Structure 1
Amino acid sequence: MRLANRPIFLAACAAAALFAAVAGCAPQDESADGANAAGKGQQSCARGKLATVRTGRLTVGTDKPAYAPWFADDTPANGKGFESAVAYAVAGELGYGKGAVDWRTVPFNNAFAPGEKKFDFDINQISVSSARKKAVAFSSGYYDVRQAVVALKDSKAAHAKSVADLKRFRLGAQVGTTSLDVVNDTIRPTQRPAVFQKNDFAKSALKNGQVDAILTDLPTAFYITSAEIEDAKVVGQFPSTGGTKEQFGLVLDKESRITGCVSAAVEALRKDGTLAALEKKWLTDAVAVPVLK
């Protein structure tokens, strides 16, 4: 009788041990400040121990060239420029020091194209949109965006005062950007807009007279007119429309297990004033630029 009952006894013990192990390994509610904000069915946000592409390291993607004022000297890893500084600030919140951050070159359009990603997050002036959310995940916004128009100072486009004034000009913008969306959906010019693979090509077209004006985000517009095309000016900026602000967000794989952790880090940096301080340090004040309506 004792031998016959032994398998039942062992099975009961095994079940009890398994229950205890599972209970002991269950994620704990560490705090309410984002330390365990991994998101839907994801791991807890243990500092420096996230489910990253490379264990113990954080891989950050961006395009090349890496333009100012978002980066400096085309070197994302130097910590200079707004987005480089933001990337390292987010990494720090997640528990990764500068030495544990690896940078990977990712073309702008590839960052939010469907498919598995080889980065943990990408930072490259990519606006959060419902269309892009079908292919990738986004963090909370780290920068509130305004679009702007740049034209040569001696051109007729430089004197535009409204959206209606811009309709008759040949306009240009980078493919896949919100700037191009503003051209097509807000301005609706009478001439087909010029579409460029990179902003460098758009700037060359402006200097060569192939377009009358180009659209880009406001800080980039300031940099173009102050450091790259000195005979150009920022014609104006566009107001935020509707109830939702346009924001740049960090891009993650659609199935990323760390999206909630990254969002919590961004929100913490916004709450403690870090994002505002970095914006003040690296980006130009836009108060003096007229709003085009």
Structure 2
Amino acid sequence: MTKRLFLKAAFGLTLLGIASGTARADDALARVRATGTLKVGTETAFAPFDFIDAGQHVGLNVDLFEALGKDMGLKIQWVALPWEGVLPGLQAGKFDVVAGPVTITKARMERYRFLPPIADATDALLKRPNEADLAKPADISGKTVGAGKASSQLAQLQDYAKTLGQPVTIREYVGNTDAYADLAAGRIAAVANSYTNIAYVAKQRPDTFAVVEPPFGPKSYFGYLIPKAPESATLADALSAGIVKMKADGRLAALQKKWFGAASDTPDAVTAPEL
């Protein structure tokens, strides 16, 4: 081999090495394993999934990702944002996965890869106890109701309100805590959120809140999501396998009982959401 051919071959191998290194760097699972840290984006005002208690970040999401991290040998780094900034934060690469959790919808499935659902997300209403004029969901007709800004629950409330006889005044809140505070103070008649969330809130403060039965929204589920991109597929597959394992060995049901008071029946995947 001449010196020129040798140099060309060596240069080609160098480029191949650079290309391979770039591919490895672009692979989300390889990158996460290399750093030893999984960055998880969420909001911390969505009990019982994520909330602050005595200054500590707690909830089902915290426990579930701690278990996933142990199984995968990864440290979990939480990145907290107001909800309307969480999905844009994922797109901007601020974290690897969203743990909101997020209601699985057709529109979101077109943009994101969802992991196996971890809880029921069907929309329902929270009210003050002993409100005789709010005995069923349709009784919000003509009243003021709150919901989380940029949430699926808000969109479902808006759609449902259109079916009622009188206009519903809908107030959007950056955080559910503020919505619950306004409800407790009598400034709004109800708050729309997932049945899972409001059942937890009502259980914690039965003298202040009660659930309006039945839920009014179509059957839906909560799930975690990551970017829908080829380089993210390996990470999505690994996290999905971890959640399915937790479901099979009973750990997911145990966490649901701990935080919801009862296990929540969920499918291994949602392929055709009603929303």
TM-score range, shorter-chain basis?
A: 0.7 to 0.9
- 1:6 to partner: Cα distance: 4.9
Distance in 2 between residues matched to 1:240 and 1:194, nearest whole Å:
18
* 1:214-250 Cα deviation digits (max 9, x unpaired): 1112232123223346232111242673xxx522222
Q: Which residue of 2 aligns with 1:39?
A: none
2:222 to 238, 243, 248: 248
C-alpha contact (below 8 Å) 1:60/1:101 kept by paired residues? yes
- 1:151 to partner: Cα distance: 1.0
- Cα gap change, 1:143 to 1:284, in 2 (>3 Å): same
Distance in 2 between residues matched to 1:53 and 1:110, nearest whole Å:
26
Distance in 2 between residues matched to 1:44 and 1:275, nearest whole Å:
25
- Work out the percentage of aligned pairs sharing the same amino acid: 22
Asked if residue 184 in structure 1 is aligned to residue 155 in structure 2, the reply is no
Q: How does 1:131-280 map to 2 (within 5 A)?
A: 131-160=107-136, 163-188=137-162, 189=164, 190-228=167-205, 230-238=207-215, 241=218, 245-255=219-229, 257=232, 258-280=235-257
Gaps of 5+ in 2: 21-25, 265-275
- Cα gap change, 1:86 to 1:237, in 2 (>3 Å): farther
Distance in 1 between residues matched to 2:217 and 2:190, nearest whole Å:
20
Asked if residue 106 in structure 1 is aligned to residue 106 in structure 2, the reply is no
Distance in 2 between residues matched to 1:154 and 1:193, nearest whole Å:
22
> Residue 213 of structure 2 aligns to a residue in which SS?
strand
* 1:36-58 Cα deviation digits (max 9, x unpaired): xxxxxx8596xxxx322971212
Distance in 2 between residues matched to 1:235 and 1:286, nearest whole Å:
20
Asked if residue 119 in structure 1 is aligned to residue 100 in structure 2, the reply is no
Larger Rg over CA atoms = 1
C-alpha contact (below 8 Å) 1:112/1:132 kept by paired residues? no
* 1:248-288 Cα deviation digits (max 9, x unpaired): 2223234452222222222222233221121112212499x
Gaps of 5+ in 1: 26-41, 288-293
Which amino acid in the other structure matches residue 145 of structure 1?
Answer: A
Distance in 1 between residues matched to 2:32 and 2:103, nearest whole Å:
23
| RMSD (Å), alpha carbons | 3.6
Distance in 2 between residues matched to 1:149 and 1:211, nearest whole Å:
12
* 1:156-208 Cα deviation digits (max 9, x unpaired): 44322xx4333333222111222212211134352231111111221122122
Aligned residues: 250
Asked if residue 281 in structure 1 is aligned to residue 264 in structure 2, the reply is no
Q: How does 1:24-39 map to 2 (within 5 A)?
A: none
1:63 to 30, 43, 52: 43
Distance in 2 between residues matched to 1:165 and 1:109, nearest whole Å:
29
Q: Which residue of 1 aligns with 2:268?
A: none
Greater fraction of residues in helix: 2
* 1:56-105 Cα deviation digits (max 9, x unpaired): 212222213463464461523xxx53111111122233222xxx222221
Question: Which has the larger displacement, 175-184 or 150-159?
Answer: 150-159
C-alpha contact (below 8 Å) 1:53/1:59 kept by paired residues? no
- Cα gap change, 1:192 to 1:121, in 2 (>3 Å): same
- 1:210 to partner: Cα distance: 1.9
- 1:125 to partner: Cα distance: 2.7
- Cα gap change, 1:71 to 1:231, in 2 (>3 Å): closer
C-alpha contact (below 8 Å) 1:71/1:83 kept by paired residues? no
> Residue 101 of structure 2 aligns to a residue in which SS?
coil
- 1:13 to partner: Cα distance: 8.8
Taking structure 2 as the reference length, the TM-score comes to 0.74
C-alpha contact (below 8 Å) 2:82/2:174 kept by paired residues? no
